[in-house]
Amino acid sequence: MPRKTKDALTDTRIRKAKIKDKQYKLFDGQGLIVLVHPNGSKYFRWRYYIEGREKLLSLGVYPVISLSTAREERLIAEQLLKQGYDPVEHYRKERAKIKARIAEEKRIRENPFRKIAEDWISQQPWSVKHIMDVKSSLRIYAYPMFGEEPIAEISKDTVRSLLLGIHAQGKTNTAHRVQQRLSRVFKFAMDRDLCDRNYASELESLVPAAKSENMKHIPREELADYLRRLDANEINIHRVTWIAIKIMINTFVRTGELRFAEWSEFDLDEALWRIPGEHTKLRREHLVPLSSQVISLLHELKNFSGHCRFAFPGQQNQDRPLRDHALIEGGIYRMGYKGKAHIHGFRSLADTILNESNQWNPDAIERQLGHMERNPVRAAYNRALYLDERKRMMQWWSDHLDALKVSANDRQSKVQMWEGGNVY
């Protein structure tokens, strides 16, 4: 049982306690003692018994902990003991909780939104161009508002304010894209227990995407005449740009894949264009079978750029690729489709016509469009299984475009005959 003493301790007695060669105890009563160490340190301890065993509870170091505070702590420990708790175990668990809370607060501080976003981006299978686009949108819109704020402490109101602010500027699609990217960053953080809620996902309906016009294409009923006029080069497009547009229509690759194409990517003997992963949206190699028409165009192109690194070099600087605007200007604007169609529309047009022909496996079409197959096993299977079909499909597509052009030429000839009065 705790030793009782007639003379309770005082601050003066503790302060003036002599240092001895061995540790000794000063008794305050009710089990409260002061251990005086040979080095002069003095420690408050409370001695108690539980299940017949003596235990000591550390209450602190004198004078950091005063005598009155130590007595208060002893009273609290006595209450815990009366309630059936072992004070040593209770405080050990409390210290563990405090330590865990401090560690969690440190972890939260060390994971600001910017860091999590950059970690997320670094793990995506995107092209360099798309990575720069995502980084730019976050740098312009998200980072100024909460880039350095711990992601776990970003509030729903903060995310809402950001999205509505972008939307209020009339940037509907930008607001939608930022919302999508924020949502993916928050999900990335949730998967790693760095935050509890995905507020961006919860606010998806706040900024719906505007109806996209990016993929508007030339009307199918006008495609034949478009091809006729392009083939005749009625608007006198620079020859390299003209060949680039023709090849883009025949292969329906993305503009970035076309513009950055290097001669080393083409195997004209094998009739195959191997676009490296760094030039594709999905950061993986994309195979493009080449029709006989495309091979003929590439042979002609070599007369202009065979000595260059890029197959489609810029007109002003051949060490740089053809500008994106050159394709848009030559293939859309000067052909009379400014505001009516987009250069990327040829991809959706090819997608529609190939599927409606009912001659090709939809998976082969998807693979040729370079769309993502999320199942890696199925992706490898599709690549091996459909390459031969894709070769036939790409030749069919070029032949189909030629047939449309011929029909348009026939119609144009008849119109000219009627206008010239040569019909009998």
Q: Which residues are catalytic?
A: 254, 281, 344, 347, 371, 381
Q: Could you tell me where the DSSP H helices lie in 138-196?
A: 143-146, 156-168, 172-191
Q: Which residue is listed with tokens 């090849």?
A: 247
What contacts 25, CB < 8 A, 6 or more positions away? 33, 34, 35, 36
The pair phi, psi for residue 58, each rounded to 5°, is -75, 130
DSSP state of 138: I
Residues 151, 130: Cα–Cα separation, whole Å: 24
The pair phi, psi for residue 305, each rounded to 5°, is -135, 15
DSSP state of 51: T
Structural element, H or E, at residue 57: strand 53-62
Residues 245, 389: Cα–Cα separation, whole Å: 24
DSSP state of 22: S
Q: Which residue is listed with tokens 């939608």?
A: 176
- Residue 181 near residue 166, CB atoms below 8 Å: no
- Residue 364 near residue 389, CB atoms below 8 Å: yes
Which region, left, alpha or beta, applies to residue 313 given φ > 0 means left and ψ of -120 to 50 means alpha?
A: beta
- Residue 325 near residue 195, CB atoms below 8 Å: no
Radius of gyration (C-alpha) of the chain in whole angstroms: 38
CA-CA distances (angstroms) from residue 83 to 192, 264, 270, 316? 40, 81, 85, 87
What contacts 144, CB < 8 A, 6 or more positions away? none
Q: Closest Cα partner for 115 from 189, 211, 11, 17?
A: 189
What is the three-class DSSP state of 47?
strand
Which two three-digit tokens encode residue 366? 């998807």
What contacts 307, CB < 8 A, 6 or more positions away? none
